[in-house]
Amino acid sequence: MSAPTPSALVRMPFAELQGLLQTIFKQHGCSEAVAGVLAHNCASAQRDGAHSHGVFRIPGYVSTLASGWVDGRATPEVTDVAPGYIRVDARGGFAQPALAAARPMLVDKARSAGIAVLAIHNSHHFAALWPDVEPFADEGLVALSVVNSMTCVVPHGARKPLFGTNPIAFAAPCAGHDPIVFDMATSAMAHGDVQIAARSGQQLPEGMGVDAAGQPTTDPAAILDGGALLPFGGHKGSALSMMVELLAAALTGGHFSWEFDWSGHPGAKTPWTGQLIIVIDPSKAEGERFALRSRELVEQMQAVGLSRMPGERRYREREVAEREGVALSEQELQGLRELAG
Ligand code: NDP
Ligand code: PYC
């Protein structure tokens, strides 16, 4: 994950960055509501140093909106299917406004039934996944989400790409601490990080991907230019990626990662797939004990030598950004101002 070049770094208040991004989304075809949700998501990623899904993504959002591939004004249709199940048709719009539309019902259902599922289809997800789950843990709930992306990962043992980079994110409350959160692509690297490496002329570690001939390569450009990524952890990551295809697409009614054709929309970058979110109310099983048990787990991990919990780097970056402003390069800021008109 590469951060902006320190020499060209500027810092701005979170609210100012969010406002600038909101203007860009509105200027380029999003409704007020959609622009607000996406701007908050993207500014949060930049604030937390999640660079592969921060302002780096804005040109991709803009070119996708311009191509007509995604509907920035879509109003999601929420259906109350069962006591523990909600279905949302995002109507060709972004996944995050679909989650926002169903969220109050999802929390009510999780609190009354103990568990609830939100199945989103006909949606575009172009962002980090942790912003979708972390707020549930802030409310004392446990949340797990999966989303599939676009074909660029060769299943373990196969010859050609099929899966997307298919991330899994998890969040749980932890007494006296920030929630425990992890969020990871099931590919060896996120596609966004491959693009960042290609842009800055960096080679990748071995084992990340293959070139167009299927040969191992450390050249990010070769992966992007007809090559593909590998799953992380061989057959194990591949099995998780397969699970994500099943839960995010087959179960929701969304497209598998290979099922959409954006070739008629030059500039389109956002995968048109699905997303599943499962929310559990741990008080049903353990009362208030769950968060204390989470803390016990963290303490035991630290006692055996763990120095970095997943999510901890982001929380640290967030703290600095809250004090000093959100970091981005001068070049990025200039680009954003141009897009805002
Ligand atoms: P990383 O490999 O950078 O990190 C994965 C997780 O591991 C994070 O929770 C991270 O915490 C944690 N972590 C990293 N290094 C360590 C360490 N040394 N010790 C302990 N924990 C560690 O993420 P990926 O590159 O796999 O994914 C990046 C982003 O890309 C994710 O937000 C993902 O959702 C997004 N993505 C989105 C897709 C989409 O379709 N929308 C597709 C694929 C990826 P921390 O965050 O604190 O560093
Ligand atoms: O980084 O792999 C990725 C990705 C795909 C879609 C959005 N981000």
Report d(CA 246, CA 23) in Å as an integer.
36
pLDDT in tens, 14-58: 999 999 999 999 999 999 999 999 999 999 999 999 999 999 999
What is the rounded distance in angstroms from the CA atom of residue 88 to the CA atom of residue 94? 11
The answer, yes or no, to whether any atom of ligand 2 lies below 6 A from the CB of 54, is no
Q: What is the mean pLDDT of residues 329-337?
A: 97
Residue 259: the pLDDT is 98
The alpha carbon of 321 and the centre of ligand 1 are apart by a number of angstroms equal to: 19
Q: Say how many residues make up the chain.
A: 341
Residues 86-102, mean pLDDT to the nearest whole number: 98
Q: What are the beta bridge partners of residue 328?
A: 10
User: Which H helix or E strand runs over 86?
Assistant: strand 85-94
pLDDT of residue 5: 52
Token pair listed for 219: 């050249």
Which DSSP symbol is given to 6? G
Residue 4, pLDDT above cutoff 60:
no
CA 22 – CA 28 distance, rounded (Å) = 10
CA 135 to chain centre: 14
Under the banding of pLDDT at 50, 70 and 90, the label for residue 211 is: very high
Q: Report how far residue 213's alpha carbon sits from residue 222's, in angstroms, rounded to the nearest whole number.
A: 10
What is the rounded CA–CA span in Å between residue 276 and residue 166? 12
pLDDT (tens digit, 9 = 90+) per residue, 238-272? 999 999 999 999 999 999 999 999 999 999 999 99
Ligand 1 pocket, residue 310 CB under 6 Å:
yes
Tell me, what's the pLDDT at 1? 45
**In sequence order, which residues have a C-beta less than 8 Å from that of residue 159 and are 6 or more positions away?**
214
Average pLDDT, the chain: 97
Looking at all shown ligands, the one closest to residue 1's CA atom is: 1
Paired with 171 in beta bridges are: 143, 181
Confidence of residue 3 (pLDDT cuts 50, 70, 90): low
* Protein residue with its CA nearest to atom 2 in ligand 2: 191
- For residues 137 and 133, give the distance between their C-alpha atoms in angstroms, rounded to a whole number: 7
Question: 277-324: per-residue pLDDT in tens?
Answer: 999 999 998 778 999 999 999 999 999 999 999 999 999 999 999 999
Q: What's this model's pTM, rounded to 2 decimal places?
A: 0.97
Q: Which ligand is nearest to the CA of 152?
A: 2
Cα–Cα dist 309/181, whole Å = 9
Residue 182 near residue 315, CB atoms below 8 Å: no
- Checking if the pLDDT of 70 tops 50, the result is yes
The verdict on the CB of residue 126 being under 6 Å from ligand 2 is: yes
Q: What is the mean pLDDT of residues 182-188?
A: 98
Q: What is the CA 278 to chain-centroid distance, rounded?
A: 15
Q: How far is the CA of 222 from the centre of ligand 1 (A)?
A: 23
- Ligand 1 centroid – CA 48 distance (Å): 12
**Interval 41-52: pLDDT, tens:** 999 999 999 999
Question: Is the per-residue pLDDT at 7 higher than 80?
Answer: no
What integer is the mean pLDDT of 156-165?
98
pLDDT digits (tens, 9 = 90+) for 103-157: 999 999 999 999 999 999 999 999 999 999 999 999 999 999 999 999 999 999 9
CB hemisphere CA count around 232 (13 angstroms): 14
Quick check: 170 and 133 in contact, CB under 8 A?
A: yes
